[in-house]
């Protein structure tokens, strides 16, 4: 080690003529680099950068306390809790005010930091400006724009998608092999005859696929819309707000512009936790009715497809003869009025009804 009085010699490295800024050649190079920088362009786009949005969001969240009751019912802090002073079982002592136990919860966004998704603390207005659904191209953020429910999930579990796909493909392949065997054993028979003989096997397939989906935890599913590009911005904004307010399910996604001029519609998927939970599937449908996006009089309604079918590539007109959707809004809403009454226009979240949206067949898009 160097002694206290010892110094490193600068001989050969530093002289009285040495410049703090380097030699003339080095200075010229740095000046050229400085001229090449696009400071104005950087600051013009600074507000739209994901890191900037995330920083603003974190600061905003510090001022937005969120509480929930012990019953796990999520309650935003600004919302007034109902008066339950008549419930004596909840009072600490006779005449004591009823206080609802509150616990601070931490919001969670599974897609936080991903540029194709809504960010915690980002307003929906800012979100749809940053990623306008009608014009955002597939080559900028990918095939989908996402918004996830930031509230704690009600269910936890692992998805073993690869294992499910392996087992599902094997199941479907056995069905096709049996069909091929029947065709070989009955040459010249009409296609309808072979199909009739396979009727029982085909009818068992949906239940068998469901059993595999439950076994491997592949339970999510989605209601699907095909709005026109004209209706898309208003519909997507309404759905994004509903998802972030914990009124729908896990999340939602909308297809980006793939540059194709063949279609004037886009696919929107609204996800639920579990396709076997018909009460929750219906709850989400009821919320879509309240929003004015669905009603029983729609010509085709909307359809619900489980992700298990998507993973197995079961689309419209598939070779297994299976329906590629599990539920339809028309079937669920036949002869029904929400809560036994017609919804008044004042009760709708969206005051102006959307135009009758053209609902395509489910095989129109295989990206769902």
Q: What is the pLDDT of residues 320-348, one digit of tens each?
A: 999 999 999 999 998 554 444 434 333 33
Q: Does residue 182 have a pLDDT over 60?
A: yes
Q: Does residue 318 have a pLDDT over 90?
A: yes
Confidence tier at 113 by pLDDT (50, 70, 90): very high
Q: What was the pLDDT predicted at 17? A: 58
Q: If you average pLDDT over residues 176-200, what whole number do you get?
A: 82
pLDDT in tens, 244-292: 999 999 999 999 999 886 678 999 999 999 999 999 999 999 999 999 9
Q: What was the pLDDT predicted at 87? A: 39
Could you write out the DSSP letters of every residue in 57-90?
HHHHHTT--EEE-TT--EEETTSPPPP-TT-GGG
Mean pLDDT for the chain?
77
Q: Does residue 309 have a pLDDT over 80?
A: yes
| Residue of 161, 168, 173 whose CA lies nearest to 206 | 168
Looking from the CA of 347 toward its CB, the CA atoms found within 13 Å total 11
pLDDT in tens, 228-240: 999 999 999 999 9
Share of the chain above pLDDT 70, in %: 65
Distance CA 260, CA 123 (A): 30
Q: What was the pLDDT predicted at 133? A: 96
Contacts 24+ apart (CB under 8 A), 52-58: 53/119, 53/122, 53/126, 53/130, 54/112, 54/113, 54/119, 54/121, 56/121, 56/122, 57/119, 57/120, 57/121, 57/122, 58/120, 58/121
Q: Which tokens sit at 29?
A: 């190079």
Confidence tier at 96 by pLDDT (50, 70, 90): very low
Is residue 261 classed as helix, strand or coil in its secondary structure?
coil
- Please check whether residue 147 is in contact with residue 127, taking contact to mean a CB–CB distance below 8 angstroms: yes
pTM of the model: 0.68
- Please check whether residue 42 is in contact with residue 88, taking contact to mean a CB–CB distance below 8 angstroms: no
pLDDT in tens, 40-71: 656 666 566 666 676 666 665 555 554 443 33
């Amino acid at each position: 080690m160097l002694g206290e009085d010892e110094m490193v010699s600068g001989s050969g490295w530093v002289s009285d003529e040495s410049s703090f800024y380097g030699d003339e050649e080095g200075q010229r190079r740095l000046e050229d680099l400085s001229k090449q920088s696009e400071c104005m362009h950087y600051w013009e786009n600074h507000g739209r950068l994901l890191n900037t949005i995330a920083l603003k969001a974190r600061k905003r969240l510090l001022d937005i306390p969120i509480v929930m009751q012990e019953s796990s019912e999520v309650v935003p802090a600004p919302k007034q809790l109902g008066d339950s002073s008549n419930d004596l079982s909840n009072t600490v002592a006779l005449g004591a005010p009823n206080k609802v136990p509150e616990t601070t919860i931490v919001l969670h966004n599974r897609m936080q930091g991903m540029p194709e998704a809504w960010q915690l603390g980002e307003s929906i207005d800012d979100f749809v400006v940053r990623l306008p659904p009608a014009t955002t191209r597939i080559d900028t953020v990918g095939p989908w724009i996402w918004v996830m429910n930031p509230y704690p999930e009600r269910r936890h579990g692992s998805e073993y998608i690869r294992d499910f796909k392996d087992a599902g493909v094997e199941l479907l392949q056995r069905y096709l092999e049996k069909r091929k065997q029947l065709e070989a054993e009955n040459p010249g028979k009409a296609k309808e005859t072979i199909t009739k003989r396979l009727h029982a096997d085909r009818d068992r397939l949906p239940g068998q696929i469901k059993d595999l989906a439950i076994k491997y935890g592949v339970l999510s599913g989605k209601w699907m819309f095909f709005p026109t590009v004209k209706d898309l911005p208003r519909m997507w904004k309404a759905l994004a707000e509903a998802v972030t307010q914990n009124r729908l399910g896990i999340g939602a996604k909308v297809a980006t512009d793939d540059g194709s001029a063949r279609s004037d519609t886009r696919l929107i998927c609204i996800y639920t936790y579990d396709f076997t939970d018909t009460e929750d599937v219906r709850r989400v449908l009821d919320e879509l009715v309240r929003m004015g996006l669905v009603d029983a009089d729609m010509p085709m309604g909307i359809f619900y497809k489980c992700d298990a079918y998507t993973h197995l590539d079961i689309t419209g007109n598939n070779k297994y003869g299976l329906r590629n959707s599990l539920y339809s809004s028309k079937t669920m809403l036949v002869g029904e009025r929400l809560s036994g009454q017609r919804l008044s226009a004042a009760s709708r979240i969206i005051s102006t009804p959307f135009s009758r949206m053209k609902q395509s067949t489910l095989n129109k898009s295989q990206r769902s």
